[in-house]
Each structure stands twice: as structure tokens, then as C-alpha cells.
Structure 1
């Protein structure tokens, strides 16, 4: 009997890696877990995972197809490095790019742009409208890979009704809005992580998927997985989102990432054939 080949898909920010502000460590400092820096930006440590989480991901990487799945651009993704792990595949730009052995797949990127041109309003139109709506509460305006755009703002300063009104305008034009911490994304409806992940699974020849994520942009690939876990924080938690086959970690913050990584490792190990000794 063949053994299922498992694909393990994980979101990065606030699922597997955490900024110092998002660690949410309980208890006294002397009881804190050992942290490993997983991202450096402009010479400064930016993101962290626990040493236990990294060890679990290393175990997963040895026995399964580990796929980071992120809204980060290719350049932002390249800053993230887990010791001893070099994924053969990654999904970046919310599904706009599939990275294969460290290089973006040009064919996939071209196909995505054709699909978006057929199904959604141009990025320039969306950017012009958000510029018209945004006020001095916006800290930054950004576009990503000429695919989508986002605002950076402190959540407490965003005007009441802005997100709902902006989402309604976007949906009439084949886009939608997702809020992740300080970022307010506007993304084409046809640009999804799950579409890209299905392509990766087909290329890798896997027949079982485990997944983890914390944002609404992750919901699609969490529900397509055979089993999934989300942290008790983030956009999905704020929405009270649940789905069949999706469990929730027990604790928030970086310890949720550790629990998810350990769960991945246990699930992958359980699928391996038992070794029967011959006496």
C-alpha cells in the first residue's frame, strides 16, 4: 500500500513567524522560550520563531513538501529564512507567484496576469480610488508586484465604516478587502493562495495537505486542506471564523506558531509506515 505524500502549507506572518510586538509571550521573562531570528530587515532582527518550532519544521521538511504560503512579495519572502530549511516551492504575492527552487515561475505569473485582466478592474483604477478615499491617518500606501495594493495605518485611527465601504466598492469591480494588523489590502478576487497551492500540489505529486494561517486571505487554502489549524488571534479569529477540519491552537502569539509546527510534525510522522523489526 502506498503512503500518502503530504504537502504542508503554512502562512508566515503571525502564523509561523512573529515580530517582537506580536510575540504575546505569557509569564515572566525568565520563562520565555528560546527564540530564533527568522528575518532581518535593514540590518535589524525583525521576525522570530521559537527554537522548538524551527526544529519541528526541520523535521517536516525532511519528510514532506513544506510550502510557505504568503501575501509577501518575492523580495519580502526572500528575507525569511528558517535554519536548515530550503523549500522547493513557495507561494508568494497571495498566489501571484510560485517560487520554484528560489526563482519565480514566469509561466505561472503570466497566466495569473491574463486571468486578472479578464476578471477584475485594473490596479491603477483601484489605486486612484483608494488615494481619493484615504486621509492623513494613512502611514504608507504600497503596491505589490503590480498585482494588488495596501495601506498601512494604526487600526485605532482608521475611520469607522472605511473598510466596509471600501470593500463594497472593490467587490463591484472584482476585488475585495482584507485587514491584517496594520495593513488594509485590496486584492483581486481571482488572485488566491489556494489556486497557486493546488498547482504546487499537482507539480509535487502530493495527495494530502495540511495547512495553517491566521487571515481571511488564508481561509481558502485552509478549507481545501485535509486538515488545518489556525491561531487564536488574527483576522480569522476576530471574524469568529470556523470550518470543518480546521482546529485552533490553544495559545496566541509565537507559542501558537510552535504548537502548529509541532502539530504538522506529528501529523506527518503519523502518516509514515511503521517499521516492523524482524527477530
Structure 2
């Protein structure tokens, strides 16, 4: 939904609003049309922002439609309820990670033994859940990602690349699992009927499971999933790219919401 200047996709002239500042400098934008569209969508249907960003990184975005009843950060490792991390969900995730494979400390040590400053600019650990590299794309050694992913999969983790970032993620940390939990809670509270459909959007390999489990999904015609030629049942691919694809995705969500009769809790 949000795009840096480098990701506008040739739509520099379109009217935009800055929705994220970092250290006082503008960082991420949406078209003014998308801003209004997301704000309106949040009124008509339960919208759950879902991101690989850490809690801190997510909270610096002024995302139209806030405040959010639920948001998912850290690739599903954290569920925010009214802006506050749910400790029970996080504790369960930590237990699953410990039971399913290597620890973050072990994975981090192995990863750092395989990299050097000639092609890696940053190594970061996110919310004590997973780690990622910021790399010089053209300098990444041939075969590195495949070899690293092979090691990870033998230890309960996986690796994927999205732009300049190479993520290393435990199998237990997955957006689709967190989405399923939020959906369960919304049904349990009566805010959703049992047969209410799920619509999702994403552009990276870490989004693929979430797109597969949806009743209908959409991805932009750019990014990692485009490079992988990713497809799934009931998947739509945008006609546009870059920041215009963000607005197109919101139009698609509105069309889906308009065709679905929402069921909300009786205030009485």
C-alpha cells in the first residue's frame, strides 16, 4: 500500500501524500486516491494491516483508516490489539519456534559466518523473532540464497529475498497463521459471520501462503512474486505497477467488499 520514491514505477507526476517519515525525512507515499480509498474501506469492512515490518517500523506509518482494532506485524509474529502487542499470541509463537528448529541466535551465527561487507550493508534482528540482511543486489554471490535456504529448511527456517532485503524466517512465524487467528477472533466476537470471505493482497514471497488461503487475492504486477511468476487459485494480478498498483488493489478490495454483505456485532 505504501511506496518509496524509488518504487513509484514511473508515476512521479501522480498526486501523492507522505504517510511515513523516518528521522524527520519523508520516506513512503500513497496516491491521494489510495489514501481516501483505504480510509473508506476501513469503514465498510474489517481491514487488518499485515506486514513483515517490526512493531516499531509499523507504528511510524500514518496509515489511513487508523486506529486499527487488529494489525499484524513481524510477519505474523505479533498481533496488535488496539495498538498493543498480544502477549499470549507472542508467547505461543516463541514456544513454537523453540520446538520446531534452531534458535535465532544459532541461525544468526550461521548466517553471519556466510556473509561479508563486500555485499552486505546491514544485518538486523527483528523483534527477537527473525533476521534479515540489507544487500547490494548486484554483488550478492551467485547461489547464495538457494544455498542459505537449503540450510535453513533443514533447521525449521526458510530464506527469501525482497528487493534489497534477504529475510531468514522461522517456519512458525507466518502471516497466514496470524490472519487465521484474527479471523477466528472476529467470528467469535460476532463481527464476522462464519462464512465471511477473506480477501488478501501481497507482493513478496512471505505473502504467498496468505494469498493461497484467501477466498480471493490480488498481487501487483511488480515485486518478488511477479519475478517468481507466482499464481494461485482466485488470484488477480494488477494491470498497473508501482504506486498506481496500490490504488488499483484498493479498488479491487472495494469491489469485493461491495459484493459481500458484512455481518457486524449487534451493539445491544
Interval containing the TM-score (normalised by the shorter chain) = over 0.9
Q: Unaligned stretches of 5+ in structure 2?
A: 263-268
TM-superposed deviation, 1:82? 2.2
Q: Helix, strand or coil for the counterpart of 2:47? A: strand
TM-superposed deviation, 1:270? 2.3
Query: Between Structure 1 and Structure 2, how many residues are aligned?
Result: 254
Contact 1:139 1:151 in 2 (8 A): yes
> What is aligned with 2:27?
46
Q: Helix, strand or coil for the counterpart of 1:66? A: coil
Contact 2:38 2:65 in 1 (8 A): no
- CA distance in structure 2 between the aligned counterparts of 1:208 and 1:25, rounded to whole angstroms: 34
> What is aligned with 2:138?
156
- CA distance in structure 1 between the aligned counterparts of 2:239 and 2:67, rounded to whole angstroms: 29
Contact 1:138 1:151 in 2 (8 A): yes
Q: Which has the higher contact order (CA 8 A, sep 6+)?
A: 1
Contact 2:19 2:61 in 1 (8 A): yes
Q: 2:77 aligns with which of 87, 92, 96?
A: 96
CA root-mean-square deviation: 1.2
Residue deviations 1:147-184 (CA, integer Å, cap 9, x gap): 11010012111110111111111111010001011000
- CA distance in structure 2 between the aligned counterparts of 1:221 and 1:125, rounded to whole angstroms: 27
TM-superposed deviation, 1:58? 1.2
- CA distance in structure 2 between the aligned counterparts of 1:83 and 1:231, rounded to whole angstroms: 20
1:217 aligns with 2:202: no
Relative to the length of structure 2, the TM-score reads 0.92
For structure 1, which segment, 186-195 or 264-273, has the greater mean C-alpha deviation from structure 2 after superposition? 264-273
> What is aligned with 1:117?
98
> What is aligned with 1:85?
66
Q: Helix, strand or coil for the counterpart of 1:47? A: strand
- CA distance in structure 1 between the aligned counterparts of 2:38 and 2:80, rounded to whole angstroms: 19
> What is aligned with 1:144?
126
Q: Helix, strand or coil for the counterpart of 1:250? A: coil
Relative to the length of structure 1, the TM-score reads 0.89
TM-superposed deviation, 1:215? 0.5
Residue deviations 1:193-234 (CA, integer Å, cap 9, x gap): 000000000111232111100001001111111111000111
Contact 1:25 1:255 in 2 (8 A): no
Q: Unaligned stretches of 5+ in structure 1?
A: 1-15, 274-279
Contact 2:40 2:65 in 1 (8 A): no
1:258 aligns with 2:247: yes
- CA distance in structure 1 between the aligned counterparts of 2:63 and 2:99, rounded to whole angstroms: 38
- CA distance in structure 2 between the aligned counterparts of 1:100 and 1:33, rounded to whole angstroms: 34
Q: 2:234 aligns with which of 236, 245, 252?
A: 245
TM-superposed deviation, 1:85? 2.7
> What is aligned with 1:172?
154
TM-superposed deviation, 1:84? 4.4
Contact 1:50 1:255 in 2 (8 A): yes
For structure 1, which segment, 234-243 or 78-87, has the greater mean C-alpha deviation from structure 2 after superposition? 78-87
- CA distance in structure 1 between the aligned counterparts of 2:96 and 2:41, rounded to whole angstroms: 34
Contact 1:222 1:246 in 2 (8 A): yes
